[in-house]
Structure 1
Amino acid sequence: MLELVKVLGLFAITALAEIIGCYLPWLVLTQQRPVWLLIPAAVSLGLFAWLLTLHPGAAGRIYAAYGGVYVAIALIWLWRIDGVVPTRWDLVGSAVSLAGMAIIMLQPARSV
């Protein structure tokens, strides 16, 4: 169980790095924010790529499971950063994504 908590935490940090790395260029391109924001965006995406290497297991399985956590973190971002309250549909979709992540991560006799 502790392993799952660690993996979920790492997934959450990884998702934040990816979201920040994509959000900053979006601000530059659509909201006319300063171009220098592309520098921390590149650093954040580099961090994202490095964080993916820290996850235990086969890369494809990790990416698939990570997607469920990414959806949940993205909806938290929607709410806290964009100021848009997630709908019931958003929350149900996120729950389904997290259930998929749990099925992938908790499968018996998981091979690396």
Structure 2
Amino acid sequence: MDLLKSIGVFILAGLCEIGGGYLVWQWLREDKPVWQGILGGIILAFYGIVATWQTAGFAKVYATYGGFFIVMSILWAMKFDKYVPDRYDVIGGIIALIGVCIIYYGKR
């Protein structure tokens, strides 16, 4: 699978999981309408489908997705919750992303 397409799938999966989870969180923790929770659940289910679009096996895909999830969660929080990451958030996110890219994209 071409590198850019693969990264795009990881990003789309991240948006589905983080976005869907955020809507459920908003419904249950912030007293938002029930339709937000339902929509979040549907988006979370779509995440499960999107992840299958990668060509590698389950273990490698989900391990790699974890690093993308870390970075995307920080970016999501910055955008929607006005979160300001400290240097340890940034360093940890970079280390996680480099690590999972070695796992997924390293030549065997």
SS of the residue corresponding to residue 90 of structure 2 reads helix
Equivalent pairs, count: 108
Residue segments in structure 2 that go unaligned for 5+ positions in a row: none
CA distance in 2, matches of 1:29, 1:38: 8
CA distance in 2, matches of 1:24, 1:57: 29
2:28–2:37: 8 Å Cα contact kept in structure 1?
A: no
More deviation, 83-92/100-109: 100-109
Residue 107 (structure 1) shift: 1.9
1:8–1:69: 8 Å Cα contact kept in structure 2?
A: no
Post-superposition Cα deviations, 1:44-73, rounded to whole Å, max 9, x if no partner, equal 011101001101111101100111111111
TM-score (structure 2 length as normaliser): 0.93
- Identity, in percent, stands at 31
The letter for the 1-side match of 2:56 is G
Q: Which residue of 2 aligns with 1:62?
A: 61
CA distance in 2, matches of 1:67, 1:4: 17
1:71–1:94: 8 Å Cα contact kept in structure 2?
A: yes
Residue segments in structure 1 that go unaligned for 5+ positions in a row: none
2:26–2:32: 8 Å Cα contact kept in structure 1?
A: yes
SS of the residue corresponding to residue 2 of structure 2 reads helix
The letter for the 2-side match of 1:76 is L
1:72–1:94: 8 Å Cα contact kept in structure 2?
A: yes
Q: Which residue of 2 aligns with 1:89?
A: 88
CA distance in 1, matches of 2:38, 2:28: 14
* CA RMSD, Structure 1 to Structure 2 (Å): 1.2
Q: Which residue of 2 aligns with 1:100?
A: 99
**Structure 1 residue ranges (4+ consecutive) displaced by more than 4 angstroms after TM superposition:** none
